[in-house]
Amino acid sequence: MSESAKTTPLLSVRDLVVEFPTRRGILRAIDGVSFDIAAGEVLGVVGESGAGKSLTGAAIIGLLEPPGRVAGGEIHLQGERIDNLPPEAMRRLRGRRIGMVFQDPLTSLNPLYTVARQLTETIRTHLPVSASEARQRAIALLDRVGIPAAARRIDDYPHHFSGGMRQRVVIALALAAEPELVIADEPTTALDVSVQAQIIDLLKEVTAERGAGVMLITHDMGVIAETADRVAVLYAGRIAEIGPVHDVIERPEHPYTRGLMGSIPTLAQESDRLVQIPGAMPRLNAIPPGCAFNPRCDRVFDRCRVERPDPIERGHGRRVACWLYDEVRNG
């Protein structure tokens, strides 16, 4: 492998812009988002509802709901640009090189087909194997993701499985073609806490085994703390803070990130009250000038209300979009 191939990120997103044309004008839902994911790395993407997490994932895999569109920036997979591929080429890439795990397994599984048919068709679409070999691979996958008696259960329909077991089938489906990247969008939200932990552990294990990268989208900072290597905190379609997960959790720098951290319950917490961030995420048609977080921020000053900060390098792979850290112009 050449030196440049070693240093090329598995996924590179640069200045991504997603817009929705409406009768009243164009709404910008993602506004200049940039990040990389390395092979074998889990990047957590976190933020409140409406931050743009799922839209970012949908843009990467070419599944934006019309009239949503990628209006700027570039997306590269292993150095190859993919955001401008024709629909058919993008369809081939999905499933083969990028696997997807969605929040609701019922949207990922066809209720009319057995699990065997869905898995073997996916495997044979993307890999040059016989029908019997595809079936054996499918059984091995179900076994790997923790479906008991996989050889017997494979011929069941999705409704024969519990919610947690269905989500395991979805993970098997996402991994069926041995993808390089897995995008998991709120994969545990509908599950109880003990099943959530199992699903997260499973995702980490199977992707680590294959050296796949993972983009884990969630609103749950606790899941990120348990799972991710790095975390990107989104707010109103922009990255507020990105960096190694332990640095961001132990020493959050952006006021929004600090608010998210304060809302995580811990066993050591003596108070029964969690910190709350006042207010709510702004609507797309009402994003304030300057820093979008300024109306909710307890450290706001004049510049925040008029000038929008770009991410500022903070060392050790950390970037924070906050004027508090603009040493050149503050100092």
Domain locations along the chain: 39-60+83-264+286-330
pLDDT digits (tens, 9 = 90+) for 143-169: 988 999 999 999 999 999 998 999 999
pLDDT given at position 206: 79
Distance CA 128, CA 78 (A): 22
Distances (CA, A) of 150 to 107, 116, 172, 179: 22, 10, 12, 22
Given pLDDT bands bounded at 50, 70 and 90, which one contains residue 193?
confident
DSSP H helices, the chain, are: 3-7, 53-60, 87-96, 105-108, 115-126, 131-144, 150-153, 163-175, 193-210, 221-227, 245-250, 255-262, 302-306, 327-330
Distance CA 80, CA 151 (A): 38
Look up tokens 């797309």; give the residue: 284
Distance CA 139, CA 239 (A): 40
Tokens at residue 76, please? 């590269």
Q: At what angle do helices 115-126 and 131-144 cross, to 10 degrees?
A: 120
Given pLDDT bands bounded at 50, 70 and 90, which one contains residue 6?
low
Q: What angle do CA 210, 167, 44 make, to 5 degrees?
A: 60
Among 1-5, 108-112, 193-197, the range scoring the smallest mean pLDDT is 1-5
- For the chain, give me the number of helices (H) and strands (E)? 14, 12
Look up tokens 């319950």; give the residue: 265
Name the CATH superfamily housing domain 39-60+83-264+286-330.
P-loop containing nucleotide triphosphate hydrolases (3.40.50.300)
Q: What is the mean pLDDT of residues 19-47?
A: 96
Q: Is the pLDDT of residue 10 over 80?
A: yes
pLDDT digits (tens, 9 = 90+) for 227-244: 899 999 999 999 999 999
Average pLDDT, the chain: 90
pLDDT digits (tens, 9 = 90+) for 97-118: 999 998 887 778 999 999 999 9
pLDDT given at position 189: 79
Q: Which has more pLDDT, 56 or 225?
A: 56
pLDDT digits (tens, 9 = 90+) for 53-110: 999 999 999 999 999 999 999 999 999 999 999 999 999 999 899 999 988 877 789 9
Q: What is the mean pLDDT of residues 189-207?
A: 83
Q: Is the pLDDT of residue 295 over 50?
A: yes
Establish whether the linkage from the previous residue to 67 is cis, with ω within 30° of 0. Answer: yes
